[in-house]
Amino acid sequence: MTTRIDTRFAELKKQGRAAFVTYVMAGDPDPTTSLEIVKALPKAGSDVIELGIPFTDPMADGPSIQAAGLRALKVGMTLKKTLDLVRGFRKVDNVTPLVLMGYYNPIYIYGVDKFLADAKSSGVDGLIIVDLPPEEDDELCIPALKAGLNFIRLATPTTDDKRLPAVLTNTSGFVYYVSIAGITGAAAADANVVGQAVARIKRHTGLPICVGFGIRTPEAARAIAEKADGSVVGTALVDALKNSLDAEGRATAKTVNAVAELTAALAQGVKAAKQAAE
Amino acid sequence: MNIAKPNSYRSGPDERGHFGIFGGRFVAETLMPLILDLEKAYTAAKADPAFQAEMNGYLKNYVGRPSPLYFAERLTEHLGGAKIYLKREELNHTGSHKVNNVLGQIMLARRMGKKRIIAETGAGQHGVATATLCARFGLECVVYMGAVDVERQQPNVIRMEMLGAKVFPVQSGTRTLKDAMNEALRDWVTNVHNTFYCIGTVAGPHPYPTLVRDFQSIIGNETKTQMQEVEGRLPDSLVACIGGGSNAMGLFHPFLDDPSVEIFGVEAAGHGLTQLHAASIAGGRPGVLHGNRTYLLMDADGQIQDAHSISAGLDYPGIGPEHSWLHEVGRVNYLSATDDEALAAFQLLSKLEGIIPALEPAHAIAKVMELAPKRPKDHLMVVNLSGRGDKDVPQVGDILRGKSK
């Protein structure tokens, strides 16, 4: 089965360039503005969208993304409304891959089977669930694969060669390499070190490898895009959104553009990258 | 609930860290290699007589074990039923049961070559125990504590700082124990190469619930021996308070396969079970947080809810996964006591026995006040007096003088 993710990476490979993957939080700062932002991302140059599922206790995320989740929860965002947002996006865009990223508990409480059916029918292509390592594959990963959704696994600097096969088994769509041992929004990793890590992972898999955590500028996005199959940016976009809000944390006329403009600038960086020879 | 009774209540968890559906390892990939290393290190340590011998030396001469099993004669007379014994964990060095576990984990950290220790703390007892053993073994110590708890548990914050620990007041979320645990996990993800996370209770990803239980089981094992010496038989009932539930698990576990022993865990009912509280079993349902599946307080969308208890040590929206399982298989009875009931018990024990308990075990005493009068005079009831009340004296003093809400 070929998903939107597979199709998109195959196209990018033909074009000889890396993917630009953007992360935003669903419902931040409110569901309506959030939908407008998600719709604006492909036009601004995003190749793959990661949509955060708000959660009260995001253990692997930094303060910016945690605050974004809390802003969304405060205006009543839920997992169900996150799926509604995806449906709204699919009305205008049926090609851009969309991956939900979050933590397991809201999905567990929603009900795994019901969630997978609803996610698939609403137009979700893949899942990144931070707190489900391969040791807990029975929970969601295997059912997701059966339901026709990609399950995208995180590989990290602590994932050594011995462990990589376990991490890559049941992974599909792409591999998300976390460039640093740390939380989202932390200091940037050295592109050369990332390059070595990507080369190491490539010895174990033919899947595209996208790299995230700590990429904030067009230059950094470009440097990573030269070493990997994709650059992922989240915190910088979430910060741009936050800086556009009014004193009460509500959207302003600038909000959608603030995210779109930074997306466009970062996308230019990624497109300027010269792909490493494989 | 139709759950098959196991042959033994003490055989868990399975090799993947599950107690029934509870437990497991729900953490970010960055942490998984370290958690697997920890499991290996712990398995090796358990099989190494030198590890146990070294622990036993420190338990005896540094911690001050065994802790006494004290017959609370005046409390017994006052309540007019069961014979009440107090397991005096508050007499341990650092003033609570927490030191038993921290000693074990610090010895493990040393075996694993880790030089930096992080911990989260609610009331500060776990933080103080961690700071103490880090001082003893010359290790760097960082303690995360909710900003609200930093306010209400000042004596323990000062103690930690005197012991050389860095205390970080956590400003996120409800600024209590749950948020301190999130922050500790973030630190661990960031500093995984040199850092050991010393978890304070029987929760978190496997193997923590197991190893903390094992280190705390000294409480129940001693109780068994001591009760045999004094009364020539097993106790008839056990009572302990539960936040995450490490003091309770330590007392309960060695007795789980003794069917004549009734076991009661007491959760914090805060302002009452229909209002703000911290009773995860009474008011929650199974979910996944902080590395394990367990009973949690949450809303219909799986968002974690704020817990409330007068006791900072019980103010957590979850409970150890083995407790969740013991609840579902029906081996342990989980009850709850409100803030007001705990305060009344705090005063009663102070006045009748000259022992000022921490607010945490005051919740257990509150239920003893209900249970003991209904039991016959030959009924032997053991309460885990898990910590002393020094840290709570300013807070309770304020409340009793009507300065606080």
* Inter-chain touch B298–A109, beta carbons under 8 Å: yes
* Inter-chain touch A154–B29, beta carbons under 8 Å: yes
Q: How far apart are CA B190 and CA A156, in angstroms?
A: 11
Nearest chain B Cα distance for residue A139, angstroms: 10
Angle between helices B98-111 and B32-46 (to 10 degrees): 100
**Can you give the pLDDT at residue A277?**
47
**Can you give the pLDDT at residue B152?**
83
What residue of A is the nearest CA neighbor of B174?
A: A56
Q: How far apart are CA B310 and CA B176, in angstroms?
A: 12
Interface test with B, best of A158, A184, A235 (most B CBs within 10 A): A158
Q: Determine which helix (DSSP H) or strand (DSSP E) holds B213, and give its type and residue range.
A: helix B208-216
Q: How far apart are CA B63 and CA A125, in angstroms?
A: 55
* Inter-chain touch B303–A106, beta carbons under 8 Å: yes
The closest alpha carbon to B98, from B89, B85, B111, B107, belongs to B89
Q: How far apart are CA B368 and CA B348, in angstroms?
A: 12
Interface test with B, best of A135, A141, A162, A178 (most B CBs within 10 A): A135
* B2 has a pLDDT exceeding 90: no
What residue of B is the nearest CA neighbor of A102?
A: B28
Of A58, A106, A136, the CB nearest to B26: A136
* Inter-chain touch A57–B290, beta carbons under 8 Å: yes
What residue of B is the nearest CA neighbor of A135?
A: B25
The two three-digit tokens of residue B178, written as one number: 């749950």
Give the residue numbers in A contacting B (CB under 8 Å), as ranges: 54-60, 62-63, 66, 73, 78-80, 103-110, 130-136, 153-160, 163, 167, 178, 181-183, 186
Nearest chain A Cα distance for residue B145, angstroms: 16
What residue of B is the nearest CA neighbor of A67?
A: B172
The closest alpha carbon to B76, from B368, B401, B312, belongs to B368
Q: How far apart are CA B127 and CA B196, in angstroms?
A: 14
What residue of A is the nearest CA neighbor of B170?
A: A63
Residues 6+ apart with CB under 8 A from B332: B252, B263, B264, B265, B323, B326
Nearest chain A Cα distance for residue B71, angstroms: 44
Q: How far apart are CA B215 and CA B192, in angstroms?
A: 23
Mean pLDDT, each 10-residue run in order, chain A (278 residues): 93 96 98 98 98 95 94 97 98 98 98 98 98 96 97 94 95 95 80 94 97 93 96 97 97 98 98 74
Q: How far apart are CA A97 and CA B337, in angstroms?
A: 51
Nearest chain B Cα distance for residue A227, angstroms: 21
The residue type found at B328 is: E
- Could you read off the pLDDT of B231-276 as tens digits, one per residue? 999 999 999 999 999 999 999 999 999 999 999 999 999 999 999 9
Within a 10 A sphere around the Cβ of B194, how many other Cβ atoms?
10
- Could you read off the pLDDT of B180-209 as tens digits, one per residue? 999 999 999 899 999 999 999 999 999 999
Q: How far apart are CA A262 and CA A265, in angstroms?
A: 5
Q: Scanning the structure block, which residue is given the tokens 């508050």?
A: B90
Strand order through the sheet with B83-87 = B69-71, B83-87, B380-384, B237-242, B262-270, B333-338
Q: Are B304 and B296 in contact (CB under 8 A)?
A: yes
What residue of A is the nearest CA neighbor of B288?
A: A105
* Inter-chain touch B27–A131, beta carbons under 8 Å: yes
* Inter-chain touch A63–B289, beta carbons under 8 Å: no
The closest alpha carbon to B99, from B66, B135, B130, B57, belongs to B130
* Inter-chain touch A178–B30, beta carbons under 8 Å: yes
Q: Scanning the structure block, which residue is given the tokens 């903390």?
A: B212
Q: How far apart are CA B364 and CA B371, in angstroms?
A: 10
Q: Scanning the structure block, which residue is given the tokens 């009760």?
A: B227
Nearest chain B Cα distance for residue A226, angstroms: 24
Q: Determine which helix (DSSP H) or strand (DSSP E) holds B285, and give its type and residue range.
A: strand B285-289
* Inter-chain touch A131–B288, beta carbons under 8 Å: yes
Chain CA centroid to CA A243, Å: 21
Q: Are B100 and B398 in contact (CB under 8 A)?
A: no
The two three-digit tokens of residue A229, written as one number: 């199959």
Nearest chain B Cα distance for residue A182, angstroms: 4
What residue of B is the nearest CA neighbor of A161?
A: B33
* B405 has a pLDDT exceeding 70: no
Q: Counting one residue from A and one from B, how many pairs have CB atoms under 8 Å apart?
A: 118
**Can you give the pLDDT at residue A189?**
79
* Inter-chain touch A136–B298, beta carbons under 8 Å: no
pLDDT confidence of B403, banded at 50, 70, 90? low
Nearest chain A Cα distance for residue B18, angstroms: 11
Contact residues on chain A for B192, CB-CB shorter than 8 A: 158, 181
Q: How far apart are CA B279 and CA B243, in angstroms?
A: 8
Contact residues on chain B for A80, CB-CB shorter than 8 A: 301
Beta strand B22-26 with B291-296 is antiparallel
pTM confidence score: 0.96
Contact residues on chain A for B25, CB-CB shorter than 8 A: 133, 135-136
Q: How far apart are CA B90 and CA A26, in angstroms?
A: 48
* Inter-chain touch B32–A133, beta carbons under 8 Å: yes
Q: Scanning the structure block, which residue is given the tokens 């390892």?
A: B25
Interface test with A, best of B174, B181, B186 (most A CBs within 10 A): B186
Of the two residues B404 and B385, the one the predictor is more confident about is: B385
**Can you give the pLDDT at residue B404?**
53
Q: How far apart are CA A134 and CA A167, in angstroms?
A: 6
- DSSP class of residue B29? G
The two three-digit tokens of residue A168, written as one number: 């890559």
The two three-digit tokens of residue A234, written as one number: 């989240």
How long a stretch of residues is chain B? 405
Q: How far apart are CA B164 and CA B150, in angstroms?
A: 16
* Inter-chain touch A78–B290, beta carbons under 8 Å: no
The closest alpha carbon to A226, from A216, A235, A218, A214, belongs to A218
Q: Are B144 and B121 in contact (CB under 8 A)?
A: yes
Q: How far apart are CA A81 and CA B110, in angstroms?
A: 48
Active site residues of A: 50, 61
Is B120 annotated as catalytic? yes
Contact residues on chain B for A109, CB-CB shorter than 8 A: 287, 298, 300-302
Nearest chain B Cα distance for residue A206, angstroms: 20
**Average pLDDT of span B90-97:** 98
Give the residue numbers in B contacting A (CB under 8 Å), as ranges: 16, 24-34, 172-173, 178, 182, 185-186, 189-193, 287-291, 293, 296, 298, 300-304
The residue type found at B2 is: N
The two three-digit tokens of residue B232, written as one number: 């020539």
Residues 6+ apart with CB under 8 A from B370: none
Q: How far apart are CA B350 and CA B346, in angstroms?
A: 6
Contact residues on chain A for B302, CB-CB shorter than 8 A: 55, 79, 105-110
Residues 6+ apart with CB under 8 A from A218: A265, A266, A268, A269, A270, A272
- Could you read off the pLDDT of B301-339 as tens digits, one per residue? 999 999 999 998 898 999 999 999 999 999 999 999 999
Interface test with A, best of B30, B118, B191 (most A CBs within 10 A): B30
Which of B96, B280, B336, B386 is catalytic? The answer is B386
Of A63, A106, A167, the CB nearest to B29: A167
Q: How far apart are CA B222 and CA A121, in angstroms?
A: 58
Alpha-helical (H) ranges within chain A are: 4-15, 31-44, 63-74, 79-90, 104-110, 112-122, 141-146, 164-168, 191-202, 218-225, 235-243, 255-271
Plot region of B270 (φ>0 → left; ψ -120 to 50 → alpha; else → beta): left
Sign of CA dihedral B164, B112, B90, B79: positive
- DSSP class of residue B392? G
